[in-house]
Chain A
Amino acid sequence: DAGITQSPRHKVTETGTPVTLRCHQTENHRYMYWYRQDPGHGLRLIHYSYGVKDTDKGEVSDGYSVSRSKTEDFLLTLESATSSQTSVYFCAISESNSGNYEQYFGPGTRLTVT
């Protein structure tokens, strides 16, 4: 299994509070991704990173920001959480140099915004 951890694994927070989710990898992979998973929508890309300090938006980036100050960590921040951001969040990594384009996923973070 790829070395990907997510923290916290579960979080309940109130509307309007800031929340930061962390993804940590031990694989030294270049690409890191944040997805949210909601019933009927599958996985939707929030943001991704193609290197340290290099990030780009996905299809559902509104209300989210990310940072990547070192290769192994990719942080997702909800500046002011809303109930519509209740979801399961998955981090993924991938590496292009080896010719493998598949993604490896973390175990997920279940976030509830009340």
Chain B
Amino acid sequence: AQSVTQPDIHITVSEGASLELRCNYSYGATPYLFWYVQSPGQGLQLLLKYFSGDTLVQGIKGFEAEFKRSQSSFNLRKPSVHWSDAAEYFCAVGSPGTYKYIFGTGTRLKVLA
């Protein structure tokens, strides 16, 4: 069965520091992979996605993620965090052809001024 693990429930970084949020998945083939961001009281917004091809994908707001098949990972990175990046981040996995998605439990990011 598919599963998604986000091992870090909370992460705190200083403004201007680099960020990496971890996501590991369990799936028999290459799934569709997504990162979403949720600001307090809001819905989820897509940051980036991976379907195939180049394993390093660029998204909005300066985020990028790298698909590593050997590690079953899709970690989200940003070189320099801004205070407005404080939010909750969700990794999601989709099964090609089924249009069903599984979400991780989320990582809440706090940014220190």
Residue ranges of A at the interface with B (Cβ–Cβ < 8 Å): 31, 33, 35, 40-45, 48, 50, 58, 90, 92, 94, 96, 101-108
Contacts and interface: CB of A to CB of B under 8 A. Distances in A.
Please report whether the interface of chain B is mostly helix, strand, loop or mixed according to DSSP.
Answer: strand
Contacts of B96: 101
26 contacts: A35-B103, A40-B9, A40-B105, A41-B105, A42-B6, A42-B103, A42-B104, A44-B103, A48-B99, A50-B99, A58-B100, A90-B43, A90-B44, A96-B99, A101-B49, A101-B94, A101-B96, A103-B34, A103-B44, A103-B46, A103-B92, A105-B36, A106-B43, A107-B42, A108-B42, A108-B43
Contacts of A104: 46
Contact of B44 (A50, A101, A105): A105
Most chain B beta carbons < 10 A, residue from A41, A96, A103, A104? A103
Interface residues of B, number: 24
Nearest to B51: A101
Contact of B43 (A41, A96, A105): A105
A17 B6 CA distance: 36
A103 B101 contact: yes
Nearest to A99: B51
B99 A102 contact: no
Contact of B32 (A33, A58, A101): A101
A40 B107 CA distance: 10
A102 B46 contact: yes
A108 B43 CA distance: 6
